Amino acid sequence: MKYKLIQKPNPLEPEAERKWYASPVKAGTINNYQLSKKIAGRSSLTRGDVMNVIENIIDEIPQFLMEGYSVNLDNLGTLRLSISSEGVNDPEKFCSENIKSRRIVFTPSPEFKLILQAIHFEKAK
């Protein structure tokens, strides 16, 4: 994976000298068509079959998350929904309007973490 250096301030010490940090260089974006074509080339499924599975996963995962389930994708990892809310002194005064944000949390599996540990880094030119 290629990286570049960017200079950033420390948000806790805005007046301190800015330091240089590594930032990944994005090679591009892979879409569902490209992904399904690559997977079909490695299996007995057609690109259309793979695309159908990908589209169904995309449709189903949000529904499971909204129902309160975590979605375990085996060797890839687990997706779960997280929320943040404003605190209240009295639980009787809490209402759904106190919930301010929702986000998806991805926790990589131990196998996927091992793959990430094996990444070789090189500075982009």
pLDDT score at 14: 84
Best CA proximity match to 96, nearest among 85, 80, 104, 82: 85
Q: What percentage of the chain reaches a pLDDT higher than 70?
A: 100
89 domain residue, yes or no: yes
pLDDT score at 27: 93
101 domain residue, yes or no: yes
Q: How many domains does the chain have?
A: 1
46 domain residue, yes or no: no
Compute CA distances 110 → 55, 61, 70, 81, 107, whole Å. Answer: 26, 21, 17, 20, 9
Q: Cα-Cα-Cα-Cα dihedral of 65, 69, 74, 77, to 10°?
A: 60
44 domain residue, yes or no: no
pLDDT score at 32: 94
36 domain residue, yes or no: no
9 domain residue, yes or no: no
**Which range of residues forms the domain containing residue 106?**
70-118
31 domain residue, yes or no: no
Q: Give the least confident one: 11-15, 53-57, 82-86.
A: 11-15
113 domain residue, yes or no: yes
For residue 11, pLDDT beyond 90: no
Name the CA radius of gyration of the chain, rounded.
21
Average pLDDT (86-100) is: 94
For residue 69, pLDDT beyond 90: yes
pLDDT score at 62: 96
